[in-house]
Structures are given as C-alpha cells and as structure tokens.
Structure 1
Amino acid sequence: MKSIVIQQPGKLVIETRPMLQPAPGEVRIKVSYAGICGSDVHIYHGHNPFAKYPRVIGHEFFGHIDSVGEGVDPSRIGERVVIDPVVSCGHCYPCSVGRPNVCSELQVIGVHRDGGFSDYAVAPAQNAYQVPDSIPDQLASMVEPFTIAANITAFLKPTPTDTALIFGAGPMGLTVIQVLKGVYGVQKVIVADRIEERLQMARENGADWAINNQHKSVTEQLAAENIRPTLVIDAACHPSILQEAINVASPAARVGMMGFSGEACSITQQSITSKEISLFSSRLNSHRFPQVIEWMSEGKISPEKLVTHCMPGEDVEAAMTLFEKDQRACCKVLLKF
C-alpha cells in the first residue's frame, strides 16, 4: 500500500508499506478521501509539538471498512465510515466527565499515531462512525472539520438572539458560521478577516456582515455601528486577538478560543471581570461525530461550500502548498485515494 509519510520536518515521501492488519478492537479502512488541515501543514514544517516522526499524517478521512480485528463484529465489513481521530483511555478524569478530547493519555490519529493519508488506515472500531448513503463519499470526509465547530458551539450555547462575531474566515471560521446559522439559527453573524476573497466565502456561507480589518480595526467598525457582540469566537488563532475580542464583547458575553499558539498573550483581568465575560476554550471534539453526521444528513450544514479543490493523493505536496499559500482561492483541499 502507498502511504504519505512525513519522515522528519520538511521531508515528505510517498512510501510503499506492508498492508496493515487491524489489532483486536480495531477496523481497517480502505481510504477514499482525506482532507488537508492546517495541523497537517504544521506537522510537515515541524511546528506541531505533539507529532512524532516518521508519521503518516491525515485525521480527516472517509472510507470503507474492509477488515476487522478480533472482537469486532464481522458484519461491519463494507460499512461507509468516517473516523474520529480522538483516541482516549476512557478512565482518566477528563474521560470520566465526557471530555475525551483532553484525555490524560490522548492520542490523535495522524499526529501521535499514523493517520489517513494512505491507501489503508486502522483505527479503534468505536472511532469508526457509519455514514448514511445520503452523504456523498467526497463530502463525508468533511464531517471531522465540522466537529470542531460543534465542540466550541456546545460550550457557548448560541441562541437566535445572539449577535455573534467570528475572527477569521478560514475553514474553521466558515464551519462555525454554518453551524451558528444552520443549527442554532443565530440571526446576526459578523465575520472579520483581512482577505477580501475569504470574506466573500464568509458571505456565501451565511455571514450577515463581513468586516475587512486590514486597514481599520474591528473595534472601530463595530463602534461605528454601536454593536456589542454577545458571542465572540477566535477562529484566526493569533495571540493579539483575545484582548480585542474581550474589549469589543458585550457585558455578560461568551468568548470562545480555538487557537493553539504557544506565543504569550497579554490580557487584563479587569477587562474580563468588569463585564463578567465567560471564556471557553475548545480542542478537537468530544464525541461530536454523530451530531455532525445528523446535521449533514438533514441539510443543516453544507460542506460542499468549503471544498474548493480535490486532487489525487500522489499530488499531496502540490495540494499542501496550494492549501497553505493560496488563501484567496483555496479553502478546503481533499485528496482522493
């Protein structure tokens, strides 16, 4: 089988590897489609502190179960499935309170263990979720990105009367827009970004107001309209954003953080407590796959609006360069295996 391997930072190769065999409790998946995420690019460049090399990357993938390990029902062979990359221990404190995504022994498929940029992949059977026929193969690989939006919004508990502000119109920001509009019915969703083409994508995904903050700050533009968001989400993930998010937020607002930067971030306690701001952080997802599959089946979200490119798996280097460098025309890139 062919696998896309980051041997070390900056060195990507396509290797011929022996066929994988599922261990007890695992399934083997014949991969059909896999999506490129920013974290894949970070592993490629050596910027992900959790990755171990060499590593088969890829945590957004879809395929068919073609083999099962001991203890797994053989009738599962042939199932169309998407894979939750969160592998948890099941017995630590986070797991006991329904937060396996921050398990004390967390392993992420495609980061800590080999992932889905391969002809075949293995995963725990409980992490393989069946996809209904109503979801096309290509779009099924988009379930995982939407679980990220499902996770942060579950903390924030949006309501139709909220005024929501999202920093960043990249793939994360766009999935959040769709979930806020299509699932929670939020009437006013504002998105800020510095790339006009991304702002147009935001409008196409349901944003009511797209703010270009390249030359004029979000703070200034909101103040001119006398708008105080009640819900703010940082999907741009730059350390400077958090303080601005707190500053522009309404008293009693909720602020969600999706970033993973290791850089220091300067904020004041007064700006938070004076308005009794609630801060929420979110990593990966905690059992959100069934929820997103249902949303997708019911047409509440439209993953096809995010997919701009689909390329053969052997063109992975060109695909990753496109994803990283062409933020004006490219949103989500899928690899076909």
Structure 2
Amino acid sequence: MTAARSIRAFVLTAPGEYEVQDVPAPVTAPGEVVVDVERAGVCGTDAEFFSGAMAYLHQGHAAYPLRLGHEWAGRVAGVGDGVDPAWIGRRVMGDTMLGCGDCRRCRRGYQHVCDKRQEVGIRGGRPGALAEQLAVPVGSLHVLPDAVDAELGALVEPGGNALRAAEGTGAGPGDRVLVLGPGTIGLLVAMFVRAAGAEVHLMGRTVDSLAFARGLGFQHVWAEEAVPELPFDAVVDASNDARLPDRARELVEPAGRLVYIGLAGEPSRVDTRTLVLKDVTSVGVLSASPGLTATVRAYAEGLVDPRPLVAATVGLEEVGRVLAGTRPPHAGPGPKILVDPHR
C-alpha cells in the first residue's frame, strides 16, 4: 500500500504560535487544480492573524490552526475532473476571493463580496500558499506571461488591490494625489497613479520609509506635520492608523475623491458632514479581484515595476519570525518579504 504523500506547510496554531508541519498533499478535486507554489508573499493580514487581532477570528470566519498565504505564484502540477489537462505546466497566480457562484452578487460579477465566500489562506478554512503546494478552483487562475516571473507573480494580488485604489482616485494628467502610508500597498498605489500621469505625494511616519519612497523616484514625500497646503484632488488612505481616514477627509479638495484601502485595528471615525459640504466621493476597496488581469498586463508591459519593494526571500522556517516583526538578515530596505516554500 502506497503511503499518502505529504508536503511542508507553515501552520499558525494560536496567536504567536506556529510550526512548519508535514501535512497531507492537496488532492485534485473536481473543478480544481493543484499548484506547485514558487513564491508567496507575507502581508499585513497575515500579521493580524499572527497577533490574533484579525476580525475574522472574532466573527467566526476563521479559526486556528490556520494555513496562511494569499499572495502567490506557481505552476499547475495536476488537475481534477472537469479541468482541461492543458492547464498542467502553466504558470499562474490566483484570485484570493472564491465566491459561492450561485448568489446574486456572484451572478453579477461581485464574487469578492459574496457572503459565503472563501478566501485563500484567510477565510472559510481554505488552506493558503505558505506551503509547497496549493489547491484552488481553476476559475480563480490567471495565466502569467513569460515577462512576469514568480517574484512578480506573487506581487499581482497586492498590485490588483493597489490598481483598484489608483483607479478609484480617477486621477490623470493635471491631478494631484496624496497617498497616506508608504507601505507595500501605498507604494503600489503611488506607482499606478504616477503611471496614469498624475502628480503623486506620499505621507509617512518614519525616516526610513520616506527615504525609501524618495529612492523610488517620488519627489513629494512628507512627514505628517510637513504636508503642504496644496489642493489634493484625491487622497488615498493606505495606512493602518485609525486617525488617518478623517485626516484624509480634511485634506481632500472639494469635489475630490477619497479612497480607503487601509484597515486599522480599531474603528475609524469620519465626519461625514464635510463629505457632504465638500461634495466628496468616497470609495472603499476590499479586494484585488476586479484588477488582477490589468495588473498582470501592467507588470508584463513594464508600466509598473514593483521589484524594488521586495526586501528578501525566505524559506518557510523563517516565516514566523517575519510575522513577529523581525527583519531577515541582509534584507533590503523594501517593505515586502516573499517566501520560497521549497527553500
């Protein structure tokens, strides 16, 4: 009798507690594929699960033990019943949001806000990509062209979020946009806004983060107390600071646009009277789903290059320390850590 095959995976067993475990290899279920994961990203959502602060833990949408990882790229290794075998060998990344497919929202193309959705590595018990292999529905896949390698592929998911936020500003040539929070998402938003031809300003807290943003070619980089009194046609909050959504409301120009993509650990308060009196449009961005195809294309064409954001690539054994806030030795200045599960 052949023993069941196993793979290595990072497993979060409780807040601050983790193991790299041998777990059963995923099976090729009907309608799904199994992917050999080449790169996966570690993000702020993973850190919230690590700390125990993630809202889904308290809402019943997620529970320990958890298999994290929703930013990934890899190669299809096997297909289930009903899936074209031609998928085998293709280089892909996948949508995080997996809707039920039957509800009104899914039928209208909004599967990313389906009440019954699973989220890869986040919600509904769907194992994530901090593992050697991953099983996902074939319909969630996006093929990666040759110009988008595994490193870029793992940055498509955060890039899709950022692209949607940039599009939410409605900005183009002649417009001025302020981005609050120069982390991975904020910098990607700034890159997409710059590519659209708008003037980009960034506001951050630390000397290092501001210096890094300048190194990416952004000339207008400010500490909060130094933000100039300029008309900002759009303001994007990409921070986790509960104060900044209302600060964005103060800073935006009348008839401008506010985009909220950051999430704080506590409720944010916004004085909506000013939204009305300024005639401001406010946009919330949850998911990369509607922006993934365009992000792959932008990376392939070189419209946006997120590679400088990657500080280091580590193995599964180092993920716990990264989530705890320890920078890998010899990491570069960028905000993003990637994982090679086979290292």
TM-score above 0.5, yes or no: yes
Name 1:261's counterpart in structure 2. 264
TM-score, normalised on structure 1?
0.92
Say which of 298, 315, 333 aligns to 2:337: 333
Say which of 15, 19, 27 aligns to 1:21: 27
Q: How many correspondences in the alignment?
A: 327
CA distance in 1, matches of 2:183, 2:332: 10
CA distance in 1, matches of 2:142, 2:67: 21
Q: Is the alpha carbon distance of 1:328 and 1:61 closer, same or farther for their aligned partners in structure 2, counting shifts above 3 Å?
A: closer
Residues 293-312 of structure 1 correspond to what in structure 2 (within 5 A)? Answer: 293-312=296-315
The DSSP-based 3-state class of the residue aligned with 1:101 is helix
Name 1:44's counterpart in structure 2. 50
CA deviations on 1:154-188 (whole Å, 9 max, x unpaired) are: 33322222100010101111110111112x121x1
Say which of 150, 155, 162 aligns to 1:149: 162
Letter in 1 for 2:296: I
Residues 15-94 of structure 1 correspond to what in structure 2 (within 5 A)? Answer: 15-50=21-56, 51-94=62-105
Letter in 1 for 2:53: H
Name 1:99's counterpart in structure 2. 110
CA distance in 1, matches of 2:272, 2:316: 48
Say which of 107, 117, 121 aligns to 2:134: 121
Stretch deviating more after TM superposition (81-90 or 95-104): 95-104
Letter in 2 for 1:185: G
CA distance in 2, matches of 1:172, 1:97: 27
- CA deviation after TM superposition for structure 1 residue 75, in Å: 1.1
2:140 is equivalent to residue 134 of structure 1: no
Name 2:16's counterpart in structure 1. 10
Name 1:192's counterpart in structure 2. 203
2:254 is equivalent to residue 288 of structure 1: no
* Cα pair 2:169 2:235 within 8 Å, conserved: no
Letter in 2 for 1:39: T
Structure 1 residue ranges without an equivalent (≥5): none
* Cα pair 1:323 1:332 within 8 Å, conserved: no
Letter in 2 for 1:34: A
CA distance in 2, matches of 1:243, 1:134: 40
Structure 2 residue ranges without an equivalent (≥5): 1-6, 57-61
The DSSP-based 3-state class of the residue aligned with 2:20 is strand
CA deviations on 1:251-279 (whole Å, 9 max, x unpaired) are: 10100011233523333232111110111
CA RMSD of aligned residues (A): 2.0
Residues 214-229 of structure 1 correspond to what in structure 2 (within 5 A)? Answer: 216=225, 221-223=227-229, 227-229=230-232
* Cα pair 1:163 1:189 within 8 Å, conserved: yes
The DSSP-based 3-state class of the residue aligned with 1:310 is strand
CA deviations on 1:270-326 (whole Å, 9 max, x unpaired) are: 211111011111102233221111000000111211111111222222333356799
Letter in 1 for 2:15: P
Q: Is the alpha carbon distance of 1:160 and 1:324 closer, same or farther for their aligned partners in structure 2, counting shifts above 3 Å?
A: farther
Q: Is the alpha carbon distance of 1:260 and 1:325 closer, same or farther for their aligned partners in structure 2, counting shifts above 3 Å?
A: farther
CA deviations on 1:6-54 (whole Å, 9 max, x unpaired) are: 1122211111112110211100001111111011111111111223221
Letter in 1 for 2:45: S
Percent identity, aligned pairs only, is: 27
Q: Is the alpha carbon distance of 1:78 and 1:163 closer, same or farther for their aligned partners in structure 2, counting shifts above 3 Å?
A: same
CA distance in 2, matches of 1:297, 1:33: 17
* Cα pair 1:65 1:78 within 8 Å, conserved: yes
- CA deviation after TM superposition for structure 1 residue 105, in Å: 1.3
CA distance in 1, matches of 2:45, 2:75: 24
TM-score, normalised on structure 2?
0.90
The DSSP-based 3-state class of the residue aligned with 2:122 is coil
Extract structure 1 runs of 4+ deviating beyond 4 A.
322-328
The DSSP-based 3-state class of the residue aligned with 2:129 is coil
